[in-house]
Amino acid sequence: MNDLFGNEAPEAPEREPLAPGAVILRGWALPLETALLTALDGIVAEAPFRHMVTPGGFEMSVAMTNCGAAGWVTDRRGYRYDGKDPESGKPWPPMPAVFLTLAREAADEAGYPGFVPDACLINRYQPGARLSLHQDRNERDFDNPIVSVSLGLAATFQFGGLSRTDTVRKIPLRHGDVVVWGGPSRLFYHGVPALKDGEHLTVGRVRLNLTFRKAL
């Protein structure tokens, strides 16, 4: 019941401005749920989720994999994009068409036309997993937005500003929500506190997050 007064455009997506340059498209990915989860199964069969190690030597609680020409990796040598999966030595699985289309259309809707991601980092949060406050700055060009898609269990997402010490806001990200971060918000600090336990009807006891980037 989000149209009690009948004055919304019939096909208007739920579109919440979040911060300068950032827009949340609530439920935007829901029509593609099955196609996304099927494509994800194919990727994970080729490039399984793994817990990477930070340069400081800590194993991440979030498990990750990638698809596309470039994948985000971390190890004792640092954070970077690499065309190959270090576990297999093979190129990352190609970006499925349904991923590319979703990312391009969401960016378009948010005011960033012509977004063509070459990297998709896939994060898997099991209960208790968290991602500490950070900036995404391993990409070559910050003029491109980042598109994020949440699936499965809901999480609290936190984001601040350009400085680590800026006040942090919290927003819930639920199954099917898509967020586009561009312009000034592209370099905002953000993170995910420990995932609460629960069971999602179709995805199970897990939260999955896809982040689409133009890395190269």
Our finding on whether 118 is near Fe ion (CB under 5 A) is no
| Number of residue whose CB is nearest Fe ion | 136
Query: According to the annotation, is 190 in a ligand binding site?
Result: yes
Q: How far is the CB of 213 from Fe ion (least distance, A)?
A: 9
The nearer residue to Fe ion, 118 or 136, going by C-beta atoms, is: 136
Q: How far is the CB of 97 from ligand MD3 (least distance, A)?
A: 22
The nearer residue to Fe ion, 95 or 131, going by C-beta atoms, is: 131
Strands 119-125 and 146-152: unpaired
Query: According to the annotation, is 51 in a ligand binding site?
Result: no
Of 65-73, 76-84, 110-118, 129-137, which segment contacts Fe ion by CB under 5 A? 129-137
Of 43-51, 88-96, 105-113, 130-138, which segment contacts Fe ion by CB under 5 A? 130-138
Cα-based distances in Å from 37 to 64, 103, 125, 149, 152: 15, 15, 15, 12, 10
For 158, phi then psi, to 5°, come to -120, 140
Q: Are 194 and 62 in contact (CB under 8 A)?
A: no
Choose among Fe ion, ligand MD3, none what residue 85 binds, the Cβ cut-off being 5 to 8 Å by kind: none
Our finding on whether 136 is near Fe ion (CB under 5 A) is yes
Q: How far is the CB of 191 from Fe ion (least distance, A)?
A: 8
Our finding on whether 139 is near Fe ion (CB under 5 A) is no
Q: How far is the CB of 1 from ligand MD3 (least distance, A)?
A: 28
For 107, phi then psi, to 5°, come to -60, -40
* Interface ranges with Fe ion (CB under 5 A): 136
Q: Which residues are annotated as a binding site?
A: 134, 136, 190
